């Protein structure tokens, strides 16, 4: 599913676009040939299924698959994946065998060791019986009886606060969406995503020919674009989503990560909402990872599809069942932070509509983003948590109503969590520029622990509205500017107990006697306290009081003679 802007029917649509202006149809003959192979020939009665395989050939070599040094460098820096098999190709003999049975393969996934393929019921019976096939399941979507979508009719943007007299740029109508998440100061300090690669999974983008992308294209920061759906198509939801994050046009629209490099994957097909989108999403995400992406924004979620398509249920929102959810978790393990829209299915109560987030927003390693109005209140259409297994969702929130976006016709005000998500992805780029050593889960934690309700997260806005300035400051405070691991004088453990009420402790394992300084920062990056302790060679326990600190999230780090140990997070609870 994906939920575009007009949430007007019970079908799945692009999550963010509650469009306030029309979209003109533009011929794309120049890209038609690139997309023509996205869907193989299949009988009209065939259905698309995932086919999962038991193993991969031992002789297959993953070496050389990563097509850019960016991908291997990012993995070395942030990956926690230990299974080399993730890069091994799917066994070509297995693929050939199911094709001989009558399957028409659409996409291949190395990560899942699976293919998606169009098959008739008779072919499915034959394929299920193959000894190397472990599972066959429909390429799925989410559906809900009586689901309802909010139709936001044309809205005018709310009055905007004036830019401050000291602003370096004229932010125009985008000032509000930046100001509400405190992103102006980081932008003007130069935290604009420089050196970070931001990828998008969406509809088409017009290859970023809109003037809002002029500087990005001129600087050769458009690193690649691929199509994973048939086409051409007229929908340019992807253009608008990208503009919110990386656009730059003074007086019109400025994105928080306008200095980032960009990769574009077209994985969403309009005007129909079919199951092909789920496997195209996986293929697009695997491609982005292989090209060295650091952060991925997807303003897509999988719920209701066209009649006759296959479905999940809300019970499947457990962080493990959804195919796109599983793919997002693998991406995170490889060092890629994925940011996704929470969804536009919010309403008064679950009995009235779908109500909940979809996939991949239910993933435990994703940053799912809810929407607020310009006054900071929950936008009525923004989907709610929790997940089926009880986890709080979304993670954070950003402005998603009356957001300034670029369109084919120029600029417009548009609404939906589709536009809250790229704002959050752009802030993640700012955070990684400040501290490139952070893993995806650490960036996720920084965003959540600096948000407006970090100590009282709920299933409406999660940890609350993003605070970009605080997130950047916290990322800077966590930056390790000392020495390589194999030359460290000391290392520290995590703070314990956690949560803590009165006294906290951490261990310092030192190669020699030292005087260390323990520094405690609050979630805004402000130094709350510091103190010195002498430690002996070997393992020492260092304790410090927290009884006078307010309840909330904190970080502790240890410094000695210019050497800095990575920080540890903890929570003070009264």
- Report yes or no on 160 lying in a domain: no
Per-residue pLDDT at 418 = 92
Task: Please state the pTM of the whole predicted model.
Answer: 0.77
For the segment 413-430, what is each residue's pLDDT rounded down to a tens digit? 999 999 999 999 999 999
Q: Rounded mean pLDDT of the chain?
A: 81
**Count of other CB atoms within 10 angstroms of residue 211:** 14
pLDDT at 307: 56
Q: Predicted confidence band at 20 (pLDDT cuts at 50, 70, 90)?
A: very low
436 and 530 assigned to the same domain = no
Same structural domain, 547 and 450: no
Residue 158 counted as domain residue: no
Range with lowest mean pLDDT among 163-172, 204-213, 256-265, 324-333: 163-172
Q: Give the CATH number of the domain where residue 529 resides.
A: 2.60.40.10
Region 548-573 average pLDDT: 78
Residue in 32, 387, 110, 425 with CA at minimum distance from that of residue 260: 425
CA 114: distance to chain centroid? 23
Cα(54)–Cα(97) distance, rounded to whole angstroms? 14
- Decide which of 535 and 276 is more confident: 535
Q: Which of 42-56, 219-233, 450-464, 534-548 is the most confident on average?
A: 450-464
Better-predicted residue by pLDDT, 211 or 153: 211
Minimum mean pLDDT range among 55-64, 280-289, 455-464, 552-561: 55-64
Q: Angle CA(87)–CA(283)–CA(36) in degrees, nearest 5?
A: 130
Q: Rounded to an integer, what distance in angstroms lies between the CA atom of residue 251 and that of residue 173?
A: 7
Residue 94 has pLDDT above 70, yes or no: yes
* 492 and 471 fall within a common domain: no
Q: Tell me, yes or no, whether 27 and 128 share the same domain.
A: yes
The four Cα atoms 48, 53, 58, 63 give a dihedral, to 10 degrees, of 30
Predicted local confidence at residue 302, as pLDDT: 60
Residue 448 shares a structural domain with residue 542: no
Q: How many domains does the chain have?
A: 2
The reported pLDDT for the residue numbered 229 is 83
The packing angle between helices 440-449 and 417-434, to 10°, is: 110
When mean pLDDT is compared across 17-26, 441-450, 552-561, the lowest value belongs to: 17-26
Q: Quote the domain boundaries for residue 395.
A: 1-141+171-479
- Same-domain check for residues 426 and 502: no
Cβ–Cβ < 8 Å for 495, 506: yes
321 has a pLDDT exceeding 90: no
Model confidence pLDDT, tens digit, residues 249-298: 999 999 999 999 999 999 886 654 444 578 889 999 999 999 999 999 99
Same domain membership, residue 548 and residue 499: yes
Same domain, 475 and 496: no
Cα dihedral sign, 395-112-290-300: negative
Same domain, 202 and 320: yes
Is 149 a member of any domain? no
Specify if 416 maps to a domain: yes
End position of a domain, from candidates 479, 496, 527: 479
What per-residue confidence (pLDDT) applies to 498?
Answer: 75
In this prediction, residue 15 carries a pLDDT of 44
| Domain presence at residue 306 | yes
pLDDT tens sequence across 472-525: 988 887 775 443 445 668 777 667 787 888 888 887 888 889 999 988 887 666
Q: Is residue 92 part of a domain?
A: yes
350-382 pLDDT tens trace: 888 778 888 899 999 999 999 999 999 999 999
Residue 159 lies in a domain: no
> How far is the C-alpha of 439 from the C-alpha of 333, rounded, in Å?
9
Residue after which a domain boundary falls, among 463, 479, 495: 479
pLDDT band at 559 (very low <50, low <70, confident <90, very high): confident
Do 98 and 217 fall into the same domain?
yes
The pLDDT, as a whole number, for residue 176 is: 96
What is the layout of strands, in order, in the sheet containing 47-53? Answer: 104-109, 114-119, 47-53, 133-138
Q: Do 471 and 493 sit in the same domain of this protein?
A: no
* Last residue within a domain, chosen from 440, 455, 479: 479
pLDDT at residue 570, rounded to an integer: 78
Contact present, 509 and 543 (Cβ < 8 Å): no
Residue 335 lies in a domain: yes
CATH of the domain at 209: 3.40.50.200
pLDDT exceeds 80 at position 346: yes
What are the two backbone dihedrals, phi and then psi, of residue 198, each rounded to the nearest 5 degrees?
Answer: -110, 125
Residue 435 and residue 564 share a domain:
no
| pLDDT computed for residue 304 by the predictor | 54
């Amino acid at each position: 599913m994906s939920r575009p802007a007009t949430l007007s029917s019970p079908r799945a649509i692009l999550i963010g676009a509650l469009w306030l202006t029309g979209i003109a149809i533009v011929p794309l003959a120049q890209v038609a040939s690139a997309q023509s192979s996205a869907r193989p020939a299949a009988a009209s009665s065939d259905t698309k299924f995932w086919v999962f395989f038991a193993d991969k050939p031992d002789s297959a070599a993953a070496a050389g698959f990563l097509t850019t040094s960016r991908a291997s460098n990012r993995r070395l820096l942030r990956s926690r994946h230990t299974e080399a098999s993730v890069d091994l190709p799917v066994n070509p003999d297995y693929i050939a065998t199911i094709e001989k049975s009558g399957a028409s393969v659409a996409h291949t996934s190395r990560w899942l060791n699976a293919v998606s393929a169009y098959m008739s019921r008779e072919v499915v019976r034959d394929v299920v019986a193959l000894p190397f096939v472990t599972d066959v399941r429909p390429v799925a979507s989410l559906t809900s009886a009586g689901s309802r979508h909010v139709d936001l009719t044309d809205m005018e943007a709310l009055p905007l606060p004036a830019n401050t007299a000291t602003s370096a740029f004229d932010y125009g109508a985008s000032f509000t969406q930046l100001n509400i998440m405190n992103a102006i100061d980081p932008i003007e300090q130069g935290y604009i995503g420089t050196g970070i690669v931001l990828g998008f999974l969406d509809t088409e983008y017009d290859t970023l020919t809109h003037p809002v992308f002029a500087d990005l294209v001129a600087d050769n920061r458009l690193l690649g674009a691929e199509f994973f759906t048939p086409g051409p198509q007229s929908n340019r939801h992807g253009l608008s989503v990208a503009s919110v994050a990386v656009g730059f046009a003074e007086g019109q629209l400025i994105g928080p990560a306008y200095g980032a490099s960009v990769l574009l994957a077209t994985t969403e097909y309009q005007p129909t909402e079919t199951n092909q989108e789920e496997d195209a999403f996986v293929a697009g995400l695997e491609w982005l990872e292989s090209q060295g992406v650091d952060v991925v924004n997807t303003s897509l979620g999988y719920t209701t599809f066209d009649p006759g398509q296959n479905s999940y249920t809300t019970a499947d929102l457990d962080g493990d069942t959804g195919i796109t959810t599983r793919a997002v978790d693998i991406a995170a393990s490889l060092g890629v932070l994925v940011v996704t829209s929470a969804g536009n299915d919010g309403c008064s109560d679950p009995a009235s509509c779908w109500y909940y987030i979809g996939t991949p927003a239910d993933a435990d390693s994703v940053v799912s983003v809810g929407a607020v109005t310009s006054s900071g209140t929950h936008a009525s259409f923004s989907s709610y948590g929790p997940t089926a297994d009880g986890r709080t969702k979304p993670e954070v929130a950003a402005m998603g109503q009356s957001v300034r976006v670029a369109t084919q016709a120029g600029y417009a005000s548009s609404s939906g969590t589709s536009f809250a998500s790229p704002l959050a992805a752009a802030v993640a780029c700012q955070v990684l520029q400040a501290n490139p050593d952070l893993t995806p889960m650490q960036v996720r934690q920084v965003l959540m622990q600096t948000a407006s309700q970090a100590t009282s997260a709920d299933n409406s806005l999660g940890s609350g509205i993003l605070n970009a300035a605080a997130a950047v400051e916290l990322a800077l405070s966590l930056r390790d500017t000392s020495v390589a691991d194999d030359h460290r004088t000391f290392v520290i453990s995590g703070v314990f107990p956690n949560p803590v009420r009165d006294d906290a402790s951490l261990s310092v394992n030192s190669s020699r006697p030292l005087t260390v300084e323990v520094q405690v920062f609050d979630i805004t990056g402000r130094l709350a306290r510091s103190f010195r302790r002498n430690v002996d060679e070997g393992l020492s326990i260092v304790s410090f009081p927290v009884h006078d600190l307010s309840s909330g999230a904190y970080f502790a780090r240890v410094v000695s003679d210019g050497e800095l140990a990575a920080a540890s997070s903890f929570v003070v609870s009264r």
